[in-house]
Amino acid sequence: MAEHTIKAFDEEIDRLRGLIAEMGGRAEAAIENAMLALQRQDKKLAAEVVADDKRIDAIEAEVEKLVIQVIALRAPMANDLRDVIAALKIVSVVERIGDYAKNIAKRVPLIATNTRTLEPISLLPSMGQVASEMVHDALNAFAARDPDLALAVIERDAVVDDFYNSVFRTLVTFMVENPKTISECAHLLFVAKNIERIGDHATNVAEMVYYAATGQTLPERERGAGLQTED
Amino acid sequence: MTEEQIKLAIENPKMSARDVKVFYGEKQAIKGVSIDVGMDHVTAFIGPSGCGKSTFLRTLNRMNDTVASARVEGEITLDGENIYAPSMDVVQLRARVGMVFQKPNPFPKSIYENIAYGPRIHGLAAGKADMDVIVEKSLRRAGLWDEVKDRLHDSGTALSGGQQQRLCIGRAIAVEPEVILMDEPCSALDPIATAKIEELIHELRGRYAIVIVTHNMQQAARVSQRTAFFHLGDLVEYGVTSDIFTNPRQERTKDYITGRYG
């Protein structure tokens, strides 16, 4: 894209995009590390995830400040305007994604206190993997202004939803058979729900990227996992 | 016309231009512009210097007639009537299609006389009482009445720049125009005087078809409902203002409004 006549405007936009890339990378790492900590019952790694979330929150505040400054001083128009508005909305969503990862990490010590093996844990890493890839791709789509990649992320939300339904069913069955694990399994249910929400949020980011890149909004679609297993 | 422009064609347009070309001697300043202007919206013409926006504006009330080398081709209609037809009375046309210029240019006469002059030469007032009504109504519509009602016989040139510009708008309004053309009406004014003119444009909308040429894109965004972007004599894009400023279709429009032009 051609440069602005006013160079400082380009510098601010670059800084904005750099911050969002960093934030996305951190959110992605938070998900991966939280899942790793859960799998390995690694309390130290879990504690790191919780501590690192502060940086994600700080970037959100920094981006908000910068966006307000750009709007006030540069009066961005057209694709520039869509970009900064998308940036503002994306950081608040990525901050939530960070919170979900942190919440998963916080549950690790509660699950790890027990030496009993919880078979359903083995289902969660692949689910977390898909969600974290969605976050990765959604932010790459923002960096590259790539509406096709954004659409691909949106498509993938169904995979996370299917995972969630399957994990839910497995956990309920497991709890029925092993009532002593109900406390831990309840935590695992929340972990699965958190990942499912991360998938929804990555989808929201992708929708904003699509709008910023094309100026078109996508038609409203069904959000969240179907509730067929919960009746 | 492009598909986009046809979509924006207005039912019962006040003015319509079809394939308008303007030449200054050998040089072509406008390269086949088609556009409709309606009563319900303010239309803004934007574009870089030399893009033809002011030249095109001036074709709408035949101001280019005064330029010896200027030649206009194509068709421009006011209520369906060709304004370049030999039968068209140009003086009458300019009363119906009024104009406000960049620099406020009140007559060196009293505030009252500035407004009364047009109605008098067009025979719009039956007597002094009638004229008083026209002067008050015009100054009220121009948002100036309260500021000048006690000094109507002071010179118009003694007013501030912003007041002078509103006086000029009042003067245009006084002859009951149908269309008001504004060529950079705020570029010589400070932000507060500018805001007052913009508010006035907003109030006048619907009563008159208003076309404004502006270098200030924020102003176009604030006051207009339709925006036309001109570049090198072409009408590059014409659309709903909020669309033009959030999602322009043409690369040239986008580069210009985002500050990437040139």
DSSP chain B: --HHHHHHPPSS-SEEEEEEEEEETTEEEEEEEEEEE-SSSEEEEE-STTSSHHHHHHHTTTGGGGSTTEEEEEEEEETTEETTSTT--HHHHHHHEEEE-SS----SSBHHHHHHHHHHHTT--SSHHHHHHHHHHHHHHTT-HHHHGGGTTSBGGGS-HHHHHHHHHHHHHHT--SEEEEESTTTTS-HHHHHHHHHHHHHHBTTBEEEEE-S-HHHHHHH-SEEEEEETTEEEEEEEHHHHHH--SSHHHHHHHTT---
Tokens at A80, concatenated: 């520039």
Say whether pLDDT at B1 is over 60: no
Chain A residues whose CB is inside 8 A of the B241 CB are: none
Task: Enumerate chain B positions whose Cβ falls within 8 A of a Cβ in A.
Answer: 217-218, 221, 245-248, 253-255, 257-262
Say if residue B145 is exposed, middle or buried (CB neighbours under 10 Å; 0-12, 13-18, 19+): middle
For residue A213, what is the nearest residue in chain B, using CA coordinates? B247
Closest CA to B30 of B50, B5, B4: B50
Q: Identify the pLDDT of residue B2.
A: 54
CA angle A208, B228, B205 (to 5 degrees): 100
Q: Which of A6, A77, A216 sits opposite B245 (nearest CB)?
A: A77
Best mutation site among B247, B252, B255, B256 for testing chain A: the one with the most A CBs within 10 Å? B247
Closest CA to B77 of B31, B20, B142: B20
Phi-psi category of residue B30: left, alpha or beta, with phi > 0 → left and psi -120 to 50 → alpha: beta
Q: Identify the pLDDT of residue A107.
A: 95
Closest CA to B74 of B42, B43, B28, B38: B28
Pairing of strands B209-213, B179-183: parallel
pLDDT exceeding 70 applies to what percent of chain A? 93
What's this model's pTM, rounded to 2 decimal places? 0.84
Taken in order of first residue, the domains within chain B and their CATH numbers are 3-257 (3.40.50.300)
**Dist CA B228 CA B198 (whole Å):** 18
Q: Is the Cα torsion angle B4, B5, B8, B9 positive or negative in sign?
A: negative
Write the pLDDT tens digit of every residue in B138-169: 999 999 999 999 999 999 999 999 999 999 99
State the DSSP code for A218.
P
Report residues of chain A scoring pLDDT below 70.
112-116, 221-231
**Dist CA B15 CA B19 (whole Å):** 13
Contact A78 B259 (CB under 8 A): no
The owner of tokens 């030496």 is A115
Residue B88's Cβ-side half-sphere holds a number of Cα atoms within 13 Å equal to 21
> From the CA of B228, how many Å to the nearest CA of chain A?
15
Contact A9 B259 (CB under 8 A): yes
Q: Identify the pLDDT of residue A2.
A: 80
Say whether pLDDT at B3 is over 70: no
**Dist CA B59 CA B70 (whole Å):** 10
Q: Identify the pLDDT of residue B151.
A: 96
User: B80-99 burial, b for 16+ CB within 10 Å, e for fewer?
Assistant: eeebbeeeeeeeebbbbbbb
Name the residue type at position A98: G
Residue A144's Cβ-side half-sphere holds a number of Cα atoms within 13 Å equal to 12
Tokens at B212, concatenated: 């404004």
**Dist CA A29 CA B129 (whole Å):** 82
Q: Identify the pLDDT of residue B262.
A: 58
Give yes or no for A5 touching B (CB within 8 A).
yes
* Contact criterion met (CB below 8 Å) for A94 and A56: yes
Determine phi and psi for A120, rounding to 5 degrees. -60, -20
Chain B residues whose CB is inside 8 A of the A4 CB are: 258-260
**Dist CA B129 CA B116 (whole Å):** 12
> From the CA of A49, how many Å to the nearest CA of chain B?
39
Q: Identify the pLDDT of residue A230.
A: 43
Phi-psi category of residue B25: left, alpha or beta, with phi > 0 → left and psi -120 to 50 → alpha: left
Contact A78 B218 (CB under 8 A): no
Tokens at A157, concatenated: 């939300």
Least confident of A224-228, B8-12, B58-62: A224-228
Residue A50's Cβ-side half-sphere holds a number of Cα atoms within 13 Å equal to 14
Which residues, listed in sequence order, are joined to residue B229 by a DSSP beta bridge?
A: B46, B237
Mean pLDDT score, B91-102:
94
